[in-house]
Amino acid sequence: MASPANQRPGQSRKAQNSLFTAYVIAVTGAVGGLLLAVLSVADPLGFAHLRIAAHELTAPVARATRQMIGSISGIDDNISAYVHAGDQNRRLRSELADARRQLVETSALQEQTRQLKGLLKLQETDKMGIANGYLLTSNSTSTKRLALLSIGRNMGVAAGQPVRGADGLIGRVLTAGPSVSQVLLLSDVDNVVPVRRARDGLPAQISGSGYGDLDVRTLNVANNPFRPGDILVTSGIGGLYPPNIPVAVVIRRKDDGALARPLADPAKVDAVSVLRPYTPSSIEAQAIPETNGAMPDLTAEPAPRAAPASTAQAPATKASSTTATAPRP
């Protein structure tokens, strides 16, 4: 008896049917392909319609296959995104933190540039400045409102000199060291500044409240003319502070005056200028022109006139002036 591996198809009815079916399919496919080839050559238009009909029949299968492939691809993308979500979040947070730091640095540089430009403009128009420096620290928790200035006696700074920023008055020098100084801020209770209202010159005085704001009191106790938004500038009365330096803006009225806020916040100011104390003698010294570093001699006698020409012209000058003031005969 032959083994099953070497058994001929004719000895099995099932094998014979399978072989016959394969032959029929092959012959049918070959004949169909031959007919389609002949039809494409003999009738291209009819063959095109036949091809479109075949596409219509296979389109649902293609759509279903496409949706299945898209769903599988979407699942793969979602899984990949879920796996890498942690790394992406960490990277995005790091980039956001870097962008915020750069924004803060840029804003700080812009503010510092604005203050330096303001001080430069003040130096060009005002000759009261002695030296420029930076506020290193400001103390707002102690009973004394103080700030540390980056310059001292090495730059000509001395106690009692006013200190201002680009936006307004900061305070005055309390003590001066070799290279640093202490500044008594406006908000200190021991700092009193004579001021006037910018729009009409109303005199008043401000003093520190000890907690950051300023108390404003008018010289006329019976009248309280202050309104929120009033700008106060130094008046120059009593010396020390030069006039017309912006000091504060009124934020609220009170029964005995008003509450104001300094225009120059020491916590935000970097660059400041130390000024000469304001005295009438310093103003007169600025008003007198210099002559090669020496003051002009006001007691010297005038030079003698040159002679006959000016002497001869004197009566004519007198006559001409008399003619200009009196009617002609």
Tell me the per-residue pLDDT of 273-299, one tens digit each, with 9 for 90 and over: 899 898 866 555 444 444 343 433 433
Q: Which residues, 6+ apart, have CB-to-CB distance to 123 below 8 Å?
A: 129, 132, 273
Cα 247 to Cα 88, 130, 232, 241, distances in angstroms:
51, 20, 6, 11
Which structural domains are found in the chain, ordered by start?
A: 129-284 (2.40.10.340)
Rounded distance, CA 245 to CA 139, Å? 23
Q: Where are the beta strands (DSSP E) in the chain?
A: 129-139, 146-149, 162-165, 169-176, 181-185, 192-197, 203-208, 214-218, 231-234, 246-254, 257-262, 271-275
Asked if residues 136 and 150 have their Cβ atoms less than 8 Å apart, the reply is yes
Number of H helices and E strands in the chain, helices first, is 5, 12
Tell me the per-residue pLDDT of 71-120, one tens digit each, with 9 for 90 and over: 676 676 777 777 777 788 888 888 888 888 777 777 767 766 776 666 66
How many Cβ atoms sit within 10 Å of the Cβ of residue 153? 14
Asked if residues 206 and 254 have their Cβ atoms less than 8 Å apart, the reply is no
**Residue 52 predicted with pLDDT over 60:** yes
Tell me the per-residue pLDDT of 182-196, one tens digit each, with 9 for 90 and over: 999 998 888 899 999
The two structure tokens encoding residue 136: 């290193």
Asked if residues 205 and 189 have their Cβ atoms less than 8 Å apart, the reply is no
Tell me the per-residue pLDDT of 109-125, one tens digit each, with 9 for 90 and over: 776 677 666 666 666 55
The answer to whether the pTM exceeds 0.85 is no
